[in-house]
A and B are shown apart, each in its own frame.
Chain A
Amino acid sequence: MYSEQVMDHFINPRNVGEIENADGVGQVGNAKCGDIMKVYLKIENDIIVDAKFKTFGCGAAIATSSMSTELIKGKSIHEALKLTNKAVAEALGGLPPVKMHCSVLAEDAVKAAIEDYLKKQGRAE
């Protein structure tokens, strides 16, 4: 039911872990099924230089966590804020319809981590 890319990111997830003294941390829960994703960002001059995640969730949740951290690394926070769950799903070669909500978790966690960074900087939007 999952694409090859999803399985690849599930079997070898990129960027699993935590960042000590991260500049932004975001944790969100999935209202639909109860899964949780936590994102850690290292940010220098508004550029995301490192991203890591931990996820309590299904295969699609783990794969989209992995892909979204890949997609935002090296990007500015403004670019990263534009990341949509659809873009993450597309980069993974699509998700089954019942699993689209899992990718929302990744989008929301990235946004929450950036907002945390902005708040810490006193620039909350």
Chain B
Amino acid sequence: MGQKVYMDHAATTYTKPEVLEEMLPYFTEIFGNPSSVHGFGRQARRALDHARERTAKALNAQPSEIFFTAGGSESDNWAIKGTALANRDKGNHIITTAIEHHAVFDTCKFLEKNGFEVTYLPVDEYGMVAVDQLKEAITDRTILISVMFANNEIGTIQPIEEIGRIARERKIYFHTDAVQAVGNVPIDVEKLNIDMLSLSAHKFYGPKGVGALYIKRGVKILPYIHGGAQERNRRAGTENLPGIVGLGKAIELAVENMADHNARLTSMRDRLIREILSRVEYSRLNGHPTKRLPGNANFSFEFIEGEALLLSLDLKGIAGSSGSACTSGSLDPSHVLLAIGLPHEIAHGSLRLTLGDDNTDEDIDYVIEVLPEIVTRLREMSPLFAQNKGGREFV
């Protein structure tokens, strides 16, 4: 024992040492306020501009289209509420999906309570949005389409290019929550016809509590935080400069390393999936077999519950997460797993393992060895296993 295997990179990643190194001087030496006239301020301003350029370049955007925020949740809230309120004269209809992160989902619920109408597009068994249904859902009152780039639970990557094309043809704003996609999928906002894009630094080896919203030139959107001229009058508040510098460095590294990173993670992920599915009976993979994030593996193990599984894995030094009702404060199973058609009891036995830069082939070996034993032990305790085993086909 004593082994520690972190496989919860979709929840958050560590900050890379070279990112931290760039950040450090901005706490102590270069601490000026970027809005100040003096030299201290100008030095800070240069760092802010540099981070904005790096972020823009990573997305093929213009620096003037990048607005720094306090993370993915804020970016999502701003994009959706900001465009909904600014375009009310054009309509009150928003289209999103049934598998969005709560930062989008709950924001849409909030708008529904305030006079907006929201269509939640269903997804297929792999978590893929049907583009035909999107077309049918559009009305002359539709002002915004918000579809996540890649899902945080099951890793499914959406047909963003097609959705962007449809939105552009129909002249409807298109926002995408790319919090999980940045650093894992090449993103070109011009080519993909994206009007707004949310990202968050702590998902790509940057610091927590800092993110950005890309807003295409010309998009009509209200400011989100009032009170100052920062971020071109759109997002008030003295900038989190160390965090923003970290974001800039992290996104640059992520894009530079993407090809290697993806190849390495995909091969580890595929071996993990293959071995677990073959070693554990009554197990299934959730999400798309190939159109999925390079580091994402999401399983369901029938007859057992996810929290008990996570605790057992944690005792062996393995960190994962689950969509089980018992792990959510609300005691509802993951809406994503229900949306792909899993019955409650199979969502219950779900396990998400998300790989990252620090994982090795030895980590995969260790999980492959330990996980089946844990599943067996929990099944021996489960009244459902003895009752149902062999009785029917697994979904």
Measured CB to CB, the residues of A under 8 A from B are 2, 7, 10-11, 13, 16, 18, 27, 32-38, 54-59, 61-62, 98, 101-102
Contacts and interface: CB of A to CB of B under 8 A. Distances in A.
B326 interface: yes
A108 to B, nearest CB: 14
B381 A62 contact: yes
Mostly, the B contact residues are helix
B315 A35 contact: no
A56 B346 CA distance: 12
A98 B329 contact: yes
A36 B315 CA distance: 24
A62 B329 CA distance: 18
A62 B326 contact: no
B325 interface: yes
Given A13-B381, A58-B326, A33 B331 contact: yes
B382 A54 contact: yes
Contact of B308 (A38, A62, A101): A62
Interface of B: 303-305, 307-308, 311, 315, 324-327, 329, 331, 333, 344-345, 348, 380-384, 386
A59 B382 contact: no
B374 to A, nearest CB: 12
A38 B387 CA distance: 12
A27 B329 CA distance: 25
27 contacts: A2-B311, A7-B311, A10-B308, A18-B386, A27-B383, A32-B331, A33-B331, A34-B325, A34-B344, A35-B305, A35-B326, A36-B383, A38-B383, A54-B381, A54-B383, A55-B383, A56-B303, A56-B305, A56-B348, A56-B382, A57-B326, A59-B308, A59-B311, A61-B308, A61-B326, A62-B308, A98-B329
Contacts of B381: 13, 16, 54-55, 62
A84 to B, nearest CB: 21
Nearest to B382: A56
A30 to B, nearest CB: 9
A38 B333 CA distance: 22
A16 B307 CA distance: 18
Given A16-B381, A36-B383, 9 more contacts: A10-B308, A10-B311, A33-B331, A55-B382, A56-B303, A56-B304, A56-B305, A56-B384, A57-B305
B305 A16 contact: no
A37 B305 CA distance: 12
B376 to A, nearest CB: 13
A64 to B, nearest CB: 12
A2 B311 CA distance: 10
A14 to B, nearest CB: 12
Nearest to A62: B308
Contacts of B326: 33, 35, 57-58, 61, 102
Contact of A58 (B324, B333, B384): B324
A88 B228 CA distance: 56
Contacts of A58: 305, 307-308, 324, 326-327
B383 A56 contact: yes
Nearest to A6: B311
Contacts of B344: 34
B307 A59 contact: yes
Nearest to B325: A33
Contacts of B307: 58-59
Contacts of B325: 32-34
Q: Which 8 A-B pairs have the closest CB atoms?
A: A58-B326, A54-B383, A58-B307, A38-B383, A33-B325, A56-B382, A33-B331, A59-B311
A27 B344 CA distance: 19
Among B311, B325, B327, max chain A CB count under 10 A is at: B311
Given A11-B315, A58-B324, A37 B308 contact: no
A54 B315 CA distance: 21
Contacts of B305: 35, 56-58, 61
Nearest to A10: B311
Nearest to A31: B331
